[in-house]
Amino acid sequence: MPDNISDIRSLLDERVGTEIKVTVQMGRKKKKERRGILQETYRSVFVVNLDQDENNFERASFSYRDILTDTVAVEFE
């Protein structure tokens, strides 16, 4: 991933509408994976429509800063 927020946002802007896998660091040796479609990008966050078969809620938002600090990992499928 890029090493600054504007490059991360540009990369995600190009991928709006594609399938994405988001891995969230929940704490000590705990990770949670979520799959969905990258719906929108905003100034400081991006929104993912989650797969309803795997998740209890429809949408989740993450900040670009989370990617920069390795709290969230993003993979495109």
Which CATH number does the domain housing residue 23 bear?
2.30.30.100
Average the pLDDT over 39-62 and give the result: 88
The pLDDT value recorded for residue 1 is 74
Q: What is the pLDDT of residues 1-47, one digit of tens each?
A: 788 999 999 999 999 999 999 999 988 889 999 899 999 999 999 99
Measured CA to CA, the distance from residue 34 to residue 49 in angstroms comes to 10
H or E element that contains 49: strand 45-50
Asked whether 9 and 29 are in contact (CB, 8 A), the reply is no
Full domain range(s) for residue 59: 5-76
Q: What's at 72, amino acid-wise?
A: V
pLDDT at 2: 80
Q: How many domains does the chain have?
A: 1
The whole-model pTM stands at 0.85
Alpha helices by DSSP H, listed for 1-77, are 5-14, 64-68
Give the pLDDT score at 11.
94
